[in-house]
Chain A
Amino acid sequence: MTGCPAKDQDRKAKIVLETFNFRIIVEYLPLYWKCFFATLWLSGGGLAGALLVGVLSCSMRLSESRIASTAAGVYIESIRSTPLLAQLYFFYFGLPSLGIRLPEEATGILALTLNSGAYMAEIIRAGIQSISHGQIEAAISSGLNYVQRMRYIILPQALGVSIPPMLGQAIVLVKDSALLSLISIVELTRAGQILTSERFMPAEGFLTTAVFYLIIYYILKTFSNWSQKRLIFRGA
């Protein structure tokens, strides 16, 4: 005599729906899907820009010219000593007062680019400096000029060393792109906020957001582990 089984099931279903309502998530899935790609392209854009800025500022940092080296040093140190959120607000509120009006997405990508660019510069520099001096001396005595030394001796080795930490920085960049939601860009974290404010369901909203970030994280992490193994094999 356990009572009506259908009623019992109803009660169970109700408990499940009250704690974590899958129906709402399914309803909002198209929004999350769109935002997932928004996060991907925002951080992809930031990553491409960061690589460019990183290579540029690293070559400035290591150059003979004192002015270029100091300028790159000031840029890198000031970025590394301040939080991304402050940098983001700096551009978001600062550019309009200089008379420059950009769409939010452009401001966001700009901040991500400049922020990650400084870290990329340090990663590339560590890679270049990990190459023993003997290699460079050997290249010089073989009569290779600066460009040839860079192209054939230094960069191929330095890039190999730099790829795992660069992937690590890419993971950081994807997570940092969550801050863009604070300047009202619609991406994954914003999707969580939208669900929370429309349906007043923070658990569904933010846990779903977290799951999407974890998907990106695990893909990048697997890739990073794989590249690390491969590079060690090649080194040995």
Chain B
Amino acid sequence: MKREHKKDMWGFYFEQLVQSIPFFLKGLWMTVALSGLSLVAGTVVGFAWGIIRAGKGKVLKRIIGAWVDLIRGTPFLVQVFIAFFILPEAGIQLEAFPAAVIALTNLSACFICEIVVGGIQAIPSGQREAATASGLSSYHQLRHIVLPQAMRIILPPLVGQYVLLIKDSSVVSAIGVTDVTRVGWLTVQRIPEGIMVFGLVGILYFVICYPLIRLSNSMEKRMTVVTTRL
């Protein structure tokens, strides 16, 4: 009798969950928008930092290196709290969404910076010397010689980084951005079936992240084949 009751409740909750799917899709859209914005901004900033860090300016290099280390050494949750609670004390009042975008952009920029530095440093120095000997300016060296070759090394981990970014974006639910995780958290207060609710949340993330992981893996395989052929 009790078992049947439980089964009944399960059906009821399932129906409730199906009814709140639009709510989840809204959360999914928030996750996509949040990670999309930070992805574009983080890539631009990360490439800029990476190119500076692989270059000659000593002071800038040190500053960026120290900053990257600080960000890599602290949990993203703490960074989000700092952006959300401490920047207002410094006079920068931020809503939850822009604070989240700034924290995510900064985080991905730091990791992309490291990837770009690794890619640029993997290019043999003879290439640069040859370019200098041919009279290319340092901008043209970067644009036509170094970056096109480095891209092959940079791209696979870059896509992997995007997956991490999408997953990390779940953390900003802690400051009240209604992304998929937050929607799950709100829903579970109403529908006390954690497995069902967060199973759905997991599926939604899986649908976005899994293809990207596969893409990164296949790129990695293709790129290594190309390099070994060289």
Contact = CB atoms under 8 A, between A and B. Distances in A.
A83 B86 contact: no
Nearest to A78: B206
B204 to A, nearest CB: 9
Contact of A203 (B89, B193, B213): B89
A97 B192 contact: yes
Contacts of A85: 170-171, 173, 181
B184 A86 contact: yes
A191 B67 CA distance: 24
B55 interface: no
Interface in A188-220: 189, 192-193, 196, 202-203, 206-207, 209-210, 213-214, 217-218
Contact of B167 (A83, A91, A97, A98): A83
Contact of A95 (B170, B194, B197): B194
A114 B170 CA distance: 18
Interface string B198-212: 110110011001100
Q: Could you say which interface size class chain A belongs to?
A: 35 or more
A202 B170 CA distance: 22
Interface stretch (A26-34, A46-54, A172-180): A172-180
Contacts, number: 131
Contacts of B163: 81
A95 B199 CA distance: 12
Contacts of B75: 175-179, 189, 213
A214 B74 CA distance: 6
A210 B82 contact: yes
B150 interface: no
Contacts of A87: 198, 202
A97 B194 contact: yes
A94 B209 CA distance: 22
Contact of A92 (B89, B193, B194, B213): B194
Interface residues of B, number: 41
Contacts of B82: 202, 206-207, 210
B69 to A, nearest CB: 8
Contacts of A84: 167, 170
A193 B75 CA distance: 14
B47 interface: no
A80 interface: yes
A82 interface: yes
A78 B173 CA distance: 21
Interface of A: 77-78, 80-87, 89-98, 171, 175-179, 181-182, 189, 192-193, 196, 202-203, 206-207, 209-210, 213-214, 217-218, 221
Given A78-B202, A83-B166, 14 more contacts: A78-B206, A81-B205, A81-B206, A83-B205, A85-B171, A90-B199, A179-B77, A182-B77, A189-B81, A192-B81, A206-B86, A210-B78, A214-B74, A217-B72
23 contacts: A82-B209, A83-B167, A83-B168, A83-B169, A83-B171, A84-B167, A85-B173, A85-B181, A86-B202, A89-B181, A89-B194, A89-B201, A90-B195, A90-B201, A91-B194, A96-B194, A196-B85, A202-B86, A206-B81, A207-B82, A210-B70, A213-B73, A218-B73
